[in-house]
Amino acid sequence: MENKLRVLVTGGAGYIGSHAVKTLHEKGYYVAVLDNLCRGHRKAVPEDVPFFQTDLQETDRIEEILRENKIDVVMHFAAFMAVGESVQCPIEYYRNNTGGALSLLYAMKKAGVCRFIFSSTAATYGEPETTPIYEDQRQLPVNPYGWSKWMVERILKDYGKANPEFGFTALRYFNVGGSAEDGSIGEDHRPETHLLPKIIYAALGKDEKLTVFGTDYPTPDGTCIRDYVHVEDLIAAHILAMEAIKPGDQKFYNLGIGHGYSVKEMLDAAEKVLERKIPVVYGERRPGDPARLYANSDKAQKELGWKPLHTDVADMIESAWKWYKNHPNGYPD
C-alpha cells in the first residue's frame, strides 16, 4: 500500500462519488471523503473511510485536510447537477460548481497538491452541430449548469499553464446510470429528475407515471437519444486517469459508450428487465434538451486503455433495479 496514491474524493457521499470511494477503498487506496451532506448521504460512505463534513467554500479547512491526510490527488465530484434547477438558481450553481472548484484548487495550491481529476460533462458541448461528439468539438453550453462546469475547465487550463507541476484530467460524462454490482449503494437524488430512476419509480408505483418529454424530435422514434454509461465503467476510467496523470497534463476525455438509446428504447429495455409494464404519459419537450447526444470515446479508450464493460443498457437497468428494489425509499435519513 506504501506507493499507492492517497486520494481525496469531494462529493464522496453523492451518487457517482460514493461509487468512486467504494472502488478506491476496495482496491486498497487511502481514500478520504469531503462532503457537506447538502445532497449526499452519510450512509453511502463506509464507516471506516475518513469523512469530513466540510463545504467547498472552506478553503483553509480543506488545505488542512489535504495536508493532514497527505493527499496526492483530488477527485472532484462535489457539485449540483440538475440542468432545470441551474436555470432557476444560476447563482447557486456558479457559486457551488465554479466557486467551489476555485476554492478547492486554491486549497490544493497552498497545500502543494498537484493532481486533479475533474467531473466535467457533455453539457459543456451544448447543442452539438454533429454527433458523435468528439473532445475537440465546439463547446457552447446552453444552460448555467454546463457553463458552471465549462468555466472550471477554463480555469484548469489557465492554472495548468501557469504551474507546470500541476496536472489535470477533465472527464466529460454523458448519461451515467446503474449501481454497484453488490447493490449496496445507488442513486438517491431528492428530487429525482433522471430518466432511468424515474422509469423505476413509475415501475415501483412511487410515481404514478413516467412522463416522456417530447415525441416530435428529429430521431427515428421521435424521442431524445442519449449515451448511457454504467457508473462502474465511469469509475474505472477515473482510476485509469488518476494513475496516468503527470505534471503538466491537460487532458479531456468523453466518457460514454458511443451508442445512443432513445427514451422509448430505454422504456422497452426496462420493461424487459423489470418484467412489467411501465405506466407512461407523453408530454411536451423539456426545455434545453438536445435531440441527440452521444459520445465518441475513442480517445479515452486509446490513451487511458479504458474499455466500458457494460455496453448493453440492460446491464445498467438490472443493476439500478437491484438497488431500488432493496432501497425503495433510498438511504435512511
Catalytic positions: 145
Alpha-carbon torsion, ordered 282, 221, 142, 9, to 10 deg: 90
Which listed range, 15-23, 53-61, 70-78, 210-218, lies at the site for ligand UDP (CB under 6 A)? 210-218
- CA distances to 65, 157, 223, 331 from 74, in Å: 12, 17, 38, 26
* Nearer residue to ligand UDP within complex by CB, 49 or 142: 142
Give the count of beta carbons closer than 10 Å to the beta carbon of residue 326.
11
Q: Which of 42, 43, 259, 286 binds ligand UDP (CB under 6 A)?
A: 286
User: What is the DSSP annotation of 74-143?
Assistant: EEE------HHHHHH-HHHHIIIIIIHHHHHHHHHHHHT--EEEEEEEGGGTBS-SSSSBPTTS--B-SS
Please state the φ and ψ torsions of residue 281, each to the nearest 5 degrees: -130, 140
Question: Which residues in the 69-98 window bind ligand UDP by CB under 6 A?
Answer: 83
The answer to whether 173 touches 119, Cβ cutoff 8 Å, is yes
Cα–Cα distance, 150 to 98 (Å, whole number): 9
* Nearer residue to ligand UDP within complex by CB, 116 or 150: 150
* Nearer residue to ligand UDP within complex by CB, 100 or 256: 256
Least distance (Å) between residue 289 CB and ligand UDP: 5
Q: Is 252 exposed, middle or buried (0-12, 13-18, 19+ CB in 10 A)?
A: buried
Q: Which of 224, 255, 300, 320 binds ligand UDP (CB under 6 A)?
A: 224
Which listed range, 26-34, 135-143, 156-164, 192-200, lies at the site for ligand UDP (CB under 6 A)? 192-200
Count of residues that bind ligand UDP according to CB under 6 A: 15
CB closest to ligand UDP, residue no: 224
The answer to whether 195 touches 266, Cβ cutoff 8 Å, is yes
Query: What x-and-dash track marks residues 255-284 binding ligand UDP by CB under 6 A?
Result: --------x---------------------
Q: Is residue 212 near ligand UDP by the rule CB under 6 A?
A: yes
Which listed range, 7-15, 144-152, 183-191, 193-201, lies at the site for ligand UDP (CB under 6 A)? 193-201
* Nearer residue to ligand UDP within complex by CB, 52 or 228: 228
Q: Which amino acid is located at 196 in the chain?
A: L
Q: Which residues bind ligand UDP (CB under 6 A)?
A: 83, 175, 193-195, 198, 210-213, 224, 226, 263, 286, 289
